Amino acid sequence: MTIQELHENTIDLCSRLIQAKSYSGEEREVVGVIEREMRRLGYDEVTVDEYGNVIGCLRGRRPGPRVLLDGHIDTVPVQEPERWSFDPFGGEIRDDRVCGRGASDMKGAVAAMICAAAAYAQECDHDFPGEIYVAGVVYEELYEGVSARRISQFVHPDYVIIGEASNLNLKIGQRGRAEIVLETIGKPAHSANPEKGVNAVKKMMKLLAELEDYVPEEQPELGKGIMELTDIISAPYPGASVVPERCIATLDRRLLVGDTPQSVLATIQDHIERLAAEDPDFKAKVYLRAETKTCYTGNEIYAERFFPGWYFDRSSEFVQKSFAALQTLGTNPVITTYSFCTNGSHYAGEAGIKTLGFGPSVESLAHTVDEYVLKEQLTKSAEGYVKLIDVLLNLKSAT
């Protein structure tokens, strides 16, 4: 596969992936496109797991590490298609860009990964050490890293490349996130006689006021560990002539390296216990939001919304050699971190696997009206994946 063929294949595949609408839990069609393309490109094995993740494998002729390229294939919904200047699922190629939902987040990267891995294997006739895996991952938009657990159990990778948008820079970490639920319990009464009840909303207001004093920790590499109120609702709702007996609030907690479910909840639990000691009518609890969804395969996926942060030292051999390889692209890359959550929460944050981020486009285009990816970014990312694969497969320190 020549460079020109790599570019053309990547752009064409990106367009076809966009045309296969794939909201979370509805990825069957796009998985079919990926399966067929992997087989056409000569992948040695293509597997679809219980969640519906599609995983392609290219095997080298010599023993060596396993390198996994990870890209999610679900997208956020298109809420107002009439606001788009083109068909969100047309995959239209306009001048310097490929247009449509998922172009930047992140079907462009998935197309580049699939084509780049095949190009690398074809160029050397599979005379390389180790194995290359490319995974199209489901349900990432809701649960960063949850379905990826099945992939790492299947692949056991030594290195992972996350394809989320990085503007062709090298990413070596990210903050994680957690969805924390606060619940206060009151006593219902007619609002004409409020003294006979306990107002759960007022108790929530007291708890939230306490949490306003929270000073987030900070790490030089990742920034502040944020805790922000995102919603609040009473029960019954609407509350006509009744003292609310229950109130639920949600906190978005941005996590740093080392944060655990226990440590994050303990901070809030301490406030709850102090308020309960001062007020016998104060009753509250805190927990992580959890839910079960059904995959397009019919199997269920359960997720507790706690997705860890991660970071690797920029002086690490795998970081420095990967960065040196990307510098040869002529795109002037820098080493930095993601500001959002990715499947790296599992690979690096939970499993401790050496993980890098590299992908086309910029994060500000994700989830937007008239989403697109520049063709030049798309093709350069494909070239970059070829270079990263070669570096990581040939690292002498690989396990």
pTM of the model: 0.94
Looking only at the bridges linking them, the beta strands covering 310-311 and 170-174 are antiparallel
Output the tens digit of pLDDT for each of the chain's 399 residues. 799 999 999 999 999 999 999 999 999 999 999 999 999 999 999 999 999 999 999 999 999 999 999 999 999 999 999 999 999 999 999 999 999 999 999 999 999 999 999 999 999 999 999 999 999 999 999 999 999 999 999 999 999 999 999 999 999 999 999 999 999 999 999 999 999 999 999 999 999 999 998 888 999 999 999 999 999 999 998 888 899 999 999 999 999 999 999 999 999 999 999 999 999 999 999 999 999 999 999 999 999 999 999 999 999 999 999 999 999 999 999 999 998 999 999 999 999 999 999 999 999 999 999 999 999 999 999 999 999 999 999 997 554
92-101 pLDDT tens trace = 999 999 999 9
Q: How far apart are alpha carbons 395 and 358 in whole angstroms?
A: 18
Q: How far apart are alpha carbons 64 and 51 in whole angstroms?
A: 28
3-class secondary-structure state, position 93:
strand
Q: How far apart are alpha carbons 135 and 271 in whole angstroms?
A: 43
Q: 88 with 188: CB under 8 angstroms?
A: no
31-90 pLDDT tens trace = 999 999 999 999 999 999 999 999 999 999 999 999 999 999 999 999 999 999 999 999
* Residue 89 CA: distances (Å) to CA of 23, 54, 84: 12, 21, 11
DSSP 147-163: THHHHHHHH--SEEEE-
C-alpha 275 chain-centroid distance? 36
Q: 184 with 247: CB under 8 angstroms?
A: yes
